Amino acid sequence: MGGELCPEGWRIPTAEEWALLKVFHTNDLKNLDFWLSNNNYTNSTNFNLCASGYYNDSTKRFEELYGYAAFWSFETSSSTLIPGACFSHTCPYVEIKDIRRTDAVSVRCVSMD
pLDDT in tens, 50-84: 999 999 999 999 999 999 999 999 988 888 999 99
Q: Is the pTM of this model over 0.75?
A: yes
β-bridge mates for residue 63, sequence order: 54
> Which runs of consecutive H residues, i.e. helices, occur in 42-88?
none
Q: Is the pLDDT of residue 99 over 60?
A: yes
| Residue 51 C-alpha from the chain's centroid | 9
Residue 88: name the closest of 97, 76, 80 by CA. Answer: 97
Q: Edge-to-edge strand order for the sheet containing 81-88?
A: 68-72, 81-88, 95-100
For range 76-102, the mean pLDDT: 93
CA 29/CA 45 separation, integer angstroms: 6
How many Cα neighbours within 13 Å face the side chain of 98?
A: 5
pLDDT of residue 1: 44
pLDDT of residue 2: 46
> Which runs of consecutive H residues, i.e. helices, occur in 6-111?
15-19
Confidence of residue 39 (pLDDT cuts 50, 70, 90): confident
pLDDT of residue 76: 82
Confidence of residue 87 (pLDDT cuts 50, 70, 90): very high
pLDDT of residue 44: 96
Spell out the residues 6+ positions from residue 58 whose beta carbon is closer than 8 angstroms to its own.
Answer: 100
